[in-house]
């Protein structure tokens, strides 16, 4: 059984006001090429298919054409909704699609039943779990009284009785604690959305969506394929790929990472204006890439954006790194906030409003409980 793994397509996404549609169409063409070359039995897309719960007509058309081409190739498609998707909208027609070997997870309203599927001498049970929040788990099992994402996931997966002689494969869209994150990942401040890798260990394989950096977590059998395109400059150094896994009848797994080449790369360029605008320098790489330029000149360069755009038409961000900008600590403050819990941030706010008087333990407990409740029910 050969499976290609994908996640976090974010069809219709804009990055710094640039539409990614053309890049995404180019990428999906490439995926079709890889399918024709490697002839997998199935393709898995682990959520965040679209970038918005109400995707644009162009994004819908892009996916429609892609699914049509998948179907023409007679391979199975397994797809779930991520936190960016509306599970109800994405699963429209799912029961009719399934007649055509296209399986889209329904919105989470009942225990997860496996899809029994066989290919290459392997009998598999495929479990499709769309992105879930604790409140949805409590709606299905009111008696469970789960609190937080970790308990919720544990409960849902605990309801599954795995078949011992099947290859049990789970497709999910959650944030496993300990995984590497980047700017474009949607993670909740304070880490309340993190779940332990331990809950996934009883499955033979888990394909995850949510984090854009390709990685395995805890074990080689729990994998984020990552987004197929770079969606922030923090991902500039990534090599995006599609994992191809081959499972033999003894359930041994072999993994190959099929490299992806974007229409336009995303790059960080740093240096003095004169060097960056020197043809010897810029002609070495593709001028149509999406670039973030950091100028190290001490003096502001007149009309820099227009002059740089003449060379790099897809310039997305321009900043200076010099004595003046180093003197301001705006950047560092923003960084610091990112790594602090909501409770710590609230404490700061409380103190600044109350003559630096710290919160009492009772006050802290109250706020903590409140924050927890808010995050869970989002």
Binding site for its own copies (CB under 8 A): 53-54, 57-58, 60-61, 63-64, 67-68, 71, 86-89, 91-97, 99-100, 102, 107
Q: Shortest Cβ distance from residue 58 to its own copies (Å)?
A: 8
Torsion angles phi and psi, residue 259, rounded to 5: -65, 145
Which C-beta is closer to its own copies: that of 26 or that of 97? 97
Q: Shortest Cβ distance from residue 57 to its own copies (Å)?
A: 4
Q: Shortest Cβ distance from residue 11 to its own copies (Å)?
A: 12
Quote the CA–CA distance of 195 and 314 in Å, as a whole number.
38
Quote the CA–CA distance of 91 and 127 in Å, as a whole number.
15
For residue 17, what are the contacts with CB-CB under 8 A and spacing of at least 6?
Answer: none
Q: Shortest Cβ distance from residue 82 to its own copies (Å)?
A: 15
What tokens does 378 get? 């989002």
Q: Which of 123, 104, 161, 129 is nearest to 247 (CA)?
A: 123
Alpha carbon 372 to its chain centroid, in Å, reads 23
Which C-beta is closer to its own copies: that of 96 or that of 284? 96
Q: Shortest Cβ distance from residue 19 to its own copies (Å)?
A: 16
Q: Shortest Cβ distance from residue 88 to its own copies (Å)?
A: 4
Q: What is the CB-side half-sphere exposure of residue 33 using CA atoms within 13 A?
A: 10
**From residue 265, how far is each of 36, 236, 277, 286 by CA, in Å?**
24, 8, 19, 8
Which C-beta is closer to its own copies: that of 86 or that of 181? 86
What tokens does 116 get? 């029994």
Which C-beta is closer to its own copies: that of 87 or that of 291? 87
DSSP string, 160-182: ----TTSEEEEEEE-EETT----
Q: Are 116 and 94 in contact (CB under 8 A)?
A: no
Quote the CA–CA distance of 38 and 320 in Å, as a whole number.
46
Which C-beta is closer to its own copies: that of 41 or that of 85? 85
Q: Shortest Cβ distance from residue 51 to its own copies (Å)?
A: 14
Length of the chain, in residues: 378
Q: What is the CB-side half-sphere exposure of residue 85 using CA atoms within 13 A?
A: 34
What tokens does 59 get? 């994004």
Which C-beta is closer to its own copies: that of 70 or that of 304? 70
Q: Shortest Cβ distance from residue 61 to its own copies (Å)?
A: 5
Which C-beta is closer to its own copies: that of 58 or that of 365? 58
Which C-beta is closer to its own copies: that of 107 or that of 119? 107
């Amino acid at each position: 059984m050969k499976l290609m793994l994908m996640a976090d397509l974010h069809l219709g996404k804009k990055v710094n006001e640039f539409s990614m549609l053309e890049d995404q169409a180019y990428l999906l063409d490439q995926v079709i090429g890889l399918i024709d070359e490697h002839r997998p039995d199935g393709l898995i897309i682990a959520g965040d298919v679209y970038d918005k719960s109400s995707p644009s007509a162009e994004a819908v058309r892009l996916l429609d054409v892609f699914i049509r081409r998948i179907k023409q190739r007679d391979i199975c498609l397994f797809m779930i909704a991520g936190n960016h998707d509306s599970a109800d909208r994405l699963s429209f027609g799912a029961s009719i699609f399934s007649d055509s070997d296209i399986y889209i997870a329904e919105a989470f309203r009942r225990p997860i039943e496996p899809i029994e599927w066989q290919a290459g001498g392997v009998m598999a049970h495929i479990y499709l779990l769309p992105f879930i929040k604790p409140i949805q788990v409590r709606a299905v099992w009111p008696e469970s009284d789960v609190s937080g994402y970790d308990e919720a996931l544990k409960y849902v997966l605990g309801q599954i009785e795995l078949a011992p002689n099947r290859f049990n494969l789970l497709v999910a869209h959650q944030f496993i604690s300990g995984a590497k994150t980047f700017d474009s990942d949607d993670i909740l401040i304070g880490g309340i959305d993190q779940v332990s890798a331990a809950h996934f260990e009883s499955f033979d394989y888990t394909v995850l969506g949510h984090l854009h950096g390709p990685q395995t977590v805890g074990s080689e059998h729990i994998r984020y394929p990552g987004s197929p395109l770079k969606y922030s400059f923090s991902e500039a150094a990534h090599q995006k790929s599609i994992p191809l896994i081959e499972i033999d009848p003894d359930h041994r797994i072999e993994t190959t990472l099929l490299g992806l080449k974007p229409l336009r790369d995303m790059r960080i360029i740093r240096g003095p204006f004169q060097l960056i605008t020197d043809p010897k320098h810029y002609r070495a790489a593709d001028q149509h890439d999406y670039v973030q330029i950091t100028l190290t000149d001490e003096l502001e360069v007149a009309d820099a954006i227009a002059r740089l755009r003449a060379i790099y038409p897809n310039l997305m961000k321009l900043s200076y790194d010099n004595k003046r900008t180093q003197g301001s600590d705006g950047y560092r403050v923003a960084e610091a906030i990112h790594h602090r819990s909501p409770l710590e941030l609230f404490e700061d706010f409380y103190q600044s409003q109350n003559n630096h008087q710290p919160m009492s333990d009772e006050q802290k407990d109250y706020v903590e409980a409140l924050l927890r409740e808010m995050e869970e029910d989002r």
